[in-house]
């Protein structure tokens, strides 16, 4: 195990009574920064851990050291050149050991989706925009319930509540194409309605799948950290310059006027549960190519599978809805990369620091019969390295729990027996899933913690996201101290030279790209 000390300067400043971050602005929604203040335990560290820990991992490169590189990542390829999109930037990672900034702040929006549209012969980028959260503060520990002015700030918030489309075919010059407001009104209006988007999906085909509250009536959100509760919206983007509405779908009870249905919820009245789609709905095969099913994470409502045979009338056909303690975000993402093996992996997102909420598991779910979902296993709970100054990650400051799996759209075929998750203060955690009924934790990469202890918003997202190039056996880890390139013998021998992409992770994905 290697250790290495590293520090970074603070990068977030608080503004406004609701604690919205200057960096995040209105682009982030819902759980974006979760609970805004610590809850130290008697056994909690009184400092941030600047050490690096590794087991069965090697650090090959470190880009933008000391800077925030969390948030989602997407990749495009032109010949042997590969470009990683992250936090508004385009990074050339063709020469893996020497990642280079290629186009700084080339687009707006962090919730990014990028895919090649074969019929247009263009790489299309979609980014999201939404309202801020109604987060907890020391003065308002129950967020919107303690401080109703947060709700009014949501209602009055200016700017786009929806998605933007770009032509990214030339990553050096990304060209805006259109904007879409999820309330179907003029996207140029100063004040729009509903929540906008948080997690969406676009595969380069005819349809895009958004998570949104499409107007101001979707307010039956139990959790204190959001005002609106989201359902799913499908739009037609055959012409990304002119998106068109296709369908909305939501859980009965989410909307004002549906109180009778709301009162039947298991979560009704608890003021904690995430009664909303977190998203996105992943559709592993394009509908126009014969794909039929969409898999989505609905917070406290569990995992849902929809039949999209009639795209204008999505039909709920399968649901995994286990008993769980109230709190956290129990279903955050569905990893559909191993449907050929008959299972998916669901993961939660921890919202509070210092384990001030129930630990929600990562479930391995048998989906061979999409109408009868069956539990196979839970992924093991990570434990700290033996030489760490804590015996549980609950005592390491910040949030402990999963956040993001490797993205569904990536170069190469996903490894059938291996996966990895960004786990906030537990770093990158790797798992052997060769036997999905008996998953094993097989290694980790834990970077130094960023920020300073007296500024909570500077350190809670230690390890936020991971993007895997399955063909080159490389893992890009987005953390609060930069972007790390990680290799592991569990994934295979890394390929470091530029290389064209021969195939992508999903059937038909990016077909025909140069």
- How far apart CA 186 and CA 189 sit, in angstroms, is 6
pLDDT (average), residues 283-311: 98
pLDDT at 460: 84
The Cα–Cα gap between 117 and 207 comes to 11
The answer to pTM > 0.95 is no
- To 5 degrees, how large is the angle CA 330–CA 208–CA 297? 10
Q: Are strands 343-349 and 14-15 parallel, antiparallel or unpaired?
A: unpaired
- Non-local (6+) Cβ contacts of 333 within 8 A are 199, 278, 297, 346, 347, 404, 405
User: What's the mean pLDDT in 170-198?
Assistant: 98
CA dihedral sign of residues 88, 131, 347, 394: positive
- How many separate helices (H) and strands (E) can be counted in the chain? 2, 31
Please, which residues have CB within 8 angstroms of residue 252's CB and are 6 or more apart in sequence?
258, 261
Q: Are 412 and 500 in contact (CB under 8 A)?
A: no
**pLDDT higher than 90, residue 216:** yes
- Residue 449 pLDDT: 97
Is 14's pLDDT higher than 70? no
Q: What pLDDT score was predicted for residue 327?
A: 85
What pLDDT was estimated at residue 110?
A: 81
Task: Name the CATH code of domain 14-487 (choices 2.130.10.10, 3.40.50.1820, 1.20.1440.230, 1.25.40.80).
Answer: 2.130.10.10
Q: Domain ranges for the chain, please list them.
A: 14-487
Q: Which residues contact 83 (CB under 8 A, 6 or more apart)?
A: 75, 76, 77, 90, 91, 92, 93, 94, 102, 171
Per residue in 350-387, pLDDT (tens digit) is: 998 999 999 999 999 999 999 999 999 999 999 999 99
Q: What is the pLDDT of residues 138-150, one digit of tens each?
A: 889 899 999 999 9
pLDDT band at 27 (very low <50, low <70, confident <90, very high): very low
pLDDT above 50: residue 4: no
Q: Is the four-CA dihedral 332, 84, 398, 378 of positive or negative sign?
A: positive
- Phi first, then psi: give them for residue 194, nearest 5 degrees: 80, -170
Contact indicator for 302, 322 with CB cutoff of 8 Å:
yes
Q: State percent of the chain over pLDDT 90.
A: 88
pLDDT digits over 242-284, tens only?
999 999 999 999 999 999 999 999 999 999 999 999 989 999 9
Which has more pLDDT, 137 or 216?
216
Instruction: Quote the mean pLDDT of the chain.
Output: 92
CA 222 to each of CA 28, 142, 276: distance values in angstroms, whole numbers, following the listed order: 19, 11, 9
DSSP, res 489 = T
Residue 457: which pLDDT band, with cuts at 50, 70 and 90? confident
Task: Kindly list the distances between the CA atom of residue 259 and the CA atoms of 157, 194, 248, 253, 254, in Å, as whole numbers in the listed order.
Answer: 26, 19, 19, 6, 8
Q: What is the pLDDT of residue 402?
A: 97
pLDDT of 32 higher than 50:
no
């Amino acid at each position: 195990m290697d250790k290495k000390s590293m520090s970074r300067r603070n990068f977030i400043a608080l503004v406004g009574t609701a604690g919205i971050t200057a960096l995040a602005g209105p682009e982030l929604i819902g759980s974006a920064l979760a609970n805004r203040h610590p809850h130290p335990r008697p056994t909690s560290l009184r400092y941030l851990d600047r050490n690096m820990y590794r087991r069965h991992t090697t650090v090959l490169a470190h880009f933008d050291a000391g800077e925030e590189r969390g948030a989602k990542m997407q990749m495009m390829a032109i010949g042997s050149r590969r470009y990683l999109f992250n936090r508004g930037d385009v990074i050339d990672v063709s020469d893996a050991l020497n990642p280079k900034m290629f186009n700084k702040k080339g687009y707006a929006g962090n919730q990014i989706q990028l895919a090649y549209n074969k019929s247009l012969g263009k790489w299309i980028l979609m980014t999201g925009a939404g309202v801020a959260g109604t987060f907890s503060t020391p003065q308002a520990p129950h967020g919107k319930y303690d401080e109703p002015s947060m709700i009014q700030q949501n209602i009055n918030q200016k700017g786009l509540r929806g998605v933007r489309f770009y032509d990214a075919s030339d990553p050096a010059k990304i060209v805006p194409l259109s904007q879409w407001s999820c309330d179907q009104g003029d996207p140029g209006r100063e004040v729009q309605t509903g929540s906008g988007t948080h997690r969406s999906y676009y595969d380069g085909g005819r349809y895009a799948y958004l998570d949104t509250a499409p107007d101001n009536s979707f307010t039956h959100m139990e959790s204190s950290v959001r005002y609106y509760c989201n359902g799913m919206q499908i739009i037609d983007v055959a012409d990304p310059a002119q998106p068109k509405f296709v369908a909305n779908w939501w859980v009965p009870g989410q909307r004002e006027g549906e109180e009778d249905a709301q009162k039947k919820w298991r979560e009704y009245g608890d003021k904690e549960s995430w009664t909303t789609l977190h998203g996105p709905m992943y559709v592993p095969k394009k509908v126009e190519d014969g794909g039929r099913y969409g898999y989505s994470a609905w917070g406290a409502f569990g995992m849902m599978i929809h039949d999209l045979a009639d795209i204008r009338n999505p039909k709920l056909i399968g649901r995994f809805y286990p008993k769980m303690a109230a709190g956290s975000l129990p279903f955050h993402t569905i990893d559909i990369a191993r449907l050929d093996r008959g299972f998916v992996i669901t993961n939660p997102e921890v919202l509070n620091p210092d384990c001030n909420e129930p630990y929600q598991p990562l479930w391995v779910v048998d989906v061979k019969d999409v109408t009868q979902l069956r539990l196979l296993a839970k992924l093991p709970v990570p434990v700290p390295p033996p030489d760490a100054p804590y015996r549980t990650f609950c005592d390491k400051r910040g949030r402990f729990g999963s956040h993001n799996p490797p993205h569904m759209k990536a170069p190469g075929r996903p490894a059938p027996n291996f996966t990895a998750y960004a786990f906030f203060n537990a770093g990158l955690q790797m798992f052997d899933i060769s036997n999905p009924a008996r998953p094993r934790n097989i290694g980790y990469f834990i970077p130094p913690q960023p920020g300073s202890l007296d500024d909570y918003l500077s350190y809670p997202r230690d390890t936020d996201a991971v993007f895997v190039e399955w063909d080159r056996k490389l893992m890009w880890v987005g953390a609060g101290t930069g972007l790390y390139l990680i290799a592991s013998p569990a994934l295979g021998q890394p390929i470091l030279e530029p290389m064209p992409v021969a195939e992508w992770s999903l059937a038909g994905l990016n077909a025909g790209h140069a």
